Structure formats: structure tokens, C-alpha cells
Amino acid sequence: MVILASPADAKDPVRAPQLERLVACKAMADPAARLACYDREVASIDQAEQRNELVIVEKEQVRKARRTLFGLSLPRIDLLAGADNDDTIDQIDGKIASARQGPGGWRVTLEDGSIWQQVDDKPMFRDPKPGDTVIVSRGALGSYFLRVNKVPAIKVRRII
């Protein structure tokens, strides 16, 4: 579970002040004071979450968000970095929902809604069809490669 505090402009993921105060309660020696501290801070966290000042996210939600954003050119967002810095996605796999060839090459839509446009002029040895298995992998210098049914990959960019 990841707990993130607003504002979103924080440079490094840090514990929210509400969580820091809650954790500090465990250091209290007097059981009654510790319980009162826990009650007060849990109420504070609950209120902050209801006002959208504090967001509590499970690790699996972060993984899904990273997968959904794979291939998009976005500014660096450190909100997802605190969950697990070693959980970088280098490829996604899925199924083709639709594919069409136009003047700029193939445009492939995956079942997850992402759309990938061919940016090189390599031919596909077999036309991609709905239901075909696809792997999109990260290449060097921000490039991406789309491989359909294990045939040689084409260079693509994500447009949606």
C-alpha cells in the first residue's frame, strides 16, 4: 500500500504528515494517551482522505496505472515512483482489437484501448488481425517495438 500526500509537486515521495503523526503515536508509553493519539490521528487521516488531500493507493493499482501509461510521452510523475522503484515496465502484452494499414503504415489498437502507429517502413510478414497476440517493448532512446505473433517487430509510437 502506498500513501501519497498532495500537493503533487513534491519532488521526492515522502510520508504524508498525517501518517508521520500516526506512526509517532506508537512511541507513547501511556496506553490511554497512545490510544487517544491513535484515535485522533486516524480521524485526521480519514478526513484528509475524504477531502482528497491524501490518497491511499494499493501497489497493484500503481502497477495497473504504469501499464496503462506505457508508451505515452508524459512529464515525469513521481507519484508512482514511491511504490516500487524497481517495478519499471519494459514491455506489455495483449491482444489486437483492430488493425488497419494506411499511408503511414499500420495502426494497431489493442484491447486495452491503446493505439500504436508504425513509424518505420518495415513490412509486416502477415497482416495483423483482431485477437492476435501482441508484445510492445521499450527500445533505446524512447522508441517502442510492436511484435505480432512472434514475427519480426515494427517500430511504433503510441498515439492514444
From 32, 57, 80, the end of a domain falls on 80
Q: How many domains does the chain have?
A: 2
Residues 126, 68 share a domain: no
Q: Rg for the chain (alpha carbons), in Å?
A: 22
Asked if 96 and 73 sit in the same domain, the reply is no
- Do residue 39 and residue 106 come from a single domain? no
One domain, residues 45 and 105: no
Mean pLDDT for the stretch of residues 141-157: 94
- pLDDT tens digit string along 79-124? 555 555 556 789 999 999 999 999 989 999 999 999 999 999 999 9
Domain that holds residue 39: 2-80
- How far from chain centre, in Å, is Cα 108? 21
> Is the residue at 60 inside a domain?
yes
Q: Which residue has the cell 501499464?
A: 67
Same domain, 67 and 100: no
Residue 117 lies in a domain: yes
Each residue's pLDDT tens digit, 21-54: 999 999 999 999 999 999 999 999 999 999 988 8
Closest CA to 108 of 133, 83, 89, 90: 133
Listed residues 80, 107, 122: the one ending a domain: 80
End-to-end CA distance of the chain: 29
Q: Which ranges of the chain would DSSP assign to H, the alpha helix?
A: 17-24, 31-50, 59-69
Query: What pLDDT is recorded for position 13?
Result: 56
Residues 54 and 24 in one domain: yes
Are residues 122 and 147 both part of a single domain? yes
Same domain? For 101 and 55 the reply is no
Q: Which three cell numbers stand for residue 92?
A: 506489455
Residue 131 has pLDDT above 90, yes or no: yes
Same domain, 105 and 147: yes
The reply to whether 22 and 74 lie within a common domain is yes
